[in-house]
Amino acid sequence: MMDFCENILDCREADISDSEYFIHMHFLFTMVELKRQKGCVERTMVKKIVQCGILSTMQKHYSIAQLEKKANEIRQDIIKMLVKAGSGHSAGPLGMADIFCALYFSVLNHNPKKPLWEERDRLILSNGHICPVRYAAMAHAGYFPRKELLTLRKFGSRLQGHPERTRLPALETTSGPLGSGLSQAAGMAYVGKVIDKKKWRVYCAMSDGEQETGQIWEAALFAGKNKLNNLVGIIDRNNIQIDGFTEDIMPLEPLKEKYEAFNWHVLEIDGHNIEQIIDACGMAKAIQEKPTLIIANTIPGKGVSFMENKFEWHGKPPTSEEAKKALHDLRTLGGRIVSEHE
């Protein structure tokens, strides 16, 4: 395999089109990912692929099983953060833990030790109220000590209830007003591709509820018109918002077809299947003429039995007793295993 991979990587210097090159690279990415999961990728090959920007600097360290375990640890930290803060959002952060774990530990090209590294991929969080999942993922990735997670929403803390760009490196934007994130992400992607001609990519995490805002669709038009293939939108399709189910309040379907009509390439996945998340982000790199939207079907409150699929948990934290039950659910995988804490 080593010689074959070398030939594909070296073909970048040959006189072939970008589309041909990225087809080759997508094929190589898939092969290496399969072999990586089996633990049989040559170390020098991984290093060279990382240098080419195909795999992130963190991807080579974790198997799918390890990422699933990490996502569970992130969920546990979310519960601890919320009960300590006494306020905040539960359902959304728990539902997005697998996606943020995959992003920070496999997909993003980033460096926690150099959070403002110029060549980093940009991750925009549009629905800022789910920031506990981003903070927890960043802490696990090494951006700051995990013990700081317990300062969530405290006066003077860097971890505010909605992210503030100047408080914590690599947050990229201050978010809170729903619907604005895709515009910010599209602007960054336009600068990166058209003006600065950089290779870094832009990822934008959004809620499904904010698809009800007009600004989202203005940004979608802009990105489609400018063929921003370096932009990936990820919609948390959990079907809830603060006061009910999306399809009761303002129906979004057919969501896939709407984005396709705006000249986006659309993928639909299980938002709790880490392998699918990684594969979808890899596939997006092979799309040359369109931005990519990933519709990630998720369960709000994922992993906590009494929170799952209940919109009432959109904007409230657990009590101390509820937190104990939630942590028991997460530590025992819903009663399937015995927790070392018991």
Shared domain check, 151 and 15: no
Structure tokens at 15: 């006189």
Is residue 318 within 8 A of residue 79, CB to CB? The reply is yes
The confidence band for 216, taking pLDDT boundaries of 50, 70 and 90, is very high
Torsion from C-alpha of 137, 141, 144, 148, nearest 10 degrees:
40
Q: What are the angstrom distances between the C-alpha of 74 and each of 49, 70, 159, 201?
A: 28, 6, 15, 24
The domain in which residue 20 lies consists of 2-55
Instruction: Give the model's confidence band at 9: pLDDT under 50 very low, under 70 low, under 90 confident, else very high.
Output: very low
- pLDDT, residue 60, reads 52
- What pLDDT, in 10s, does the model give residues 245-264? 999 999 999 999 999 999 99
Spell out the residues 6+ positions from residue 268 whose beta carbon is closer than 8 angstroms to its own: 256, 294, 295, 297
The two three-digit tokens of residue 157, written as one number: 């803390």
Query: Which residue intervals of 125-239 are DSSP H helices?
Result: 131-141, 181-190, 214-225
C-alpha separations of 150 from 3, 78, 138 in Å: 49, 9, 14
Q: Which of 2-6, 49-53, 320-324 has the highest mean pLDDT?
A: 320-324
Q: pLDDT-based confidence at 14, cuts 50/70/90?
A: very low
**What are φ and ψ of residue 176, in 5° steps?**
180, -60
pLDDT at 248: 96
Q: How far apart are the first and last CA of the chain?
A: 47
Q: Is the pLDDT of residue 300 over 50?
A: yes
Whether residue 51 is found in the same domain as residue 105: no
Residue 32, in any domain of the structure? yes
* Residue 22's pLDDT band (cuts 50, 70, 90): very low
Token readout for 172 is 């990229």
Asked if 71 contacts 93 with a C-beta cutoff of 8 angstroms, the reply is no
Q: What is the mean pLDDT of residues 260-288?
A: 98
Phi, psi of 231 (to 5 degrees): -115, 130
Instruction: Tell whether 246 and 119 lie within a shared domain.
Output: yes
Which residues, other chains included, contact 16 with Cβ-Cβ below 8 Å and sequence gap of 6+?
Answer: none
In this predicted structure, the answer to whether residue 212 has a pLDDT above a threshold of 90 is: yes
- Tell me the percentage of the chain whose pLDDT exceeds 70: 82
- 339 inside domain: no
Claim to verify: residue 22 and residue 107 sit in the same structural domain: no
Residue 123 domain flag: yes
Give the confidence band of 101 by pLDDT, cuts at 50, 70, 90.
Answer: very high
pLDDT tier at 151 (50, 70, 90 boundaries)? very high
For residues 51 and 122, membership in a common domain is answered with no
Same domain, 233 and 99: yes
Which pLDDT band holds residue 286 (cuts at 50, 70, 90)?
very high
- Same domain? For 214 and 289 the reply is yes
**pLDDT for res 334:** 82
What is the C-alpha radius of gyration for the chain, rounded to an integer number of angstroms? 20
Q: Is residue 85 part of a domain?
A: yes
In a domain, 302, yes or no: no
Structure tokens at 82: 């919320």
Q: List, in order, residues 6 or more apart from 294 with CB less than 8 Å away.
A: 232, 233, 234, 235, 266, 267, 268, 269, 277, 280, 281, 284
The CA distance from 227 to 246, in Å, is: 29
Segment 155-190, tens digit of pLDDT:
999 999 999 999 998 899 999 789 999 999 999 999
Whether 336 is covered by a domain: the verdict is no
Tell me how many domains the chain contains.
Answer: 2
**pLDDT tops 80 at residue 61:** no
Calculate the average pLDDT of the chain.
Answer: 88
Residues 110 and 10 in one domain: no
Q: Is the pLDDT of residue 47 over 90?
A: no
Contact by Cβ (8 Å): 82, 29: no
Residue 334 in any domain: the answer is no
Q: What is the dihedral of CA 145, 313, 180, 194, to 10 degrees?
A: 60
Q: Quick check: is 340 in a domain?
A: no
Average pLDDT value for residue range 27-49: 50
How far is the C-alpha of 163 from the C-alpha of 128, rounded, in Å?
A: 6
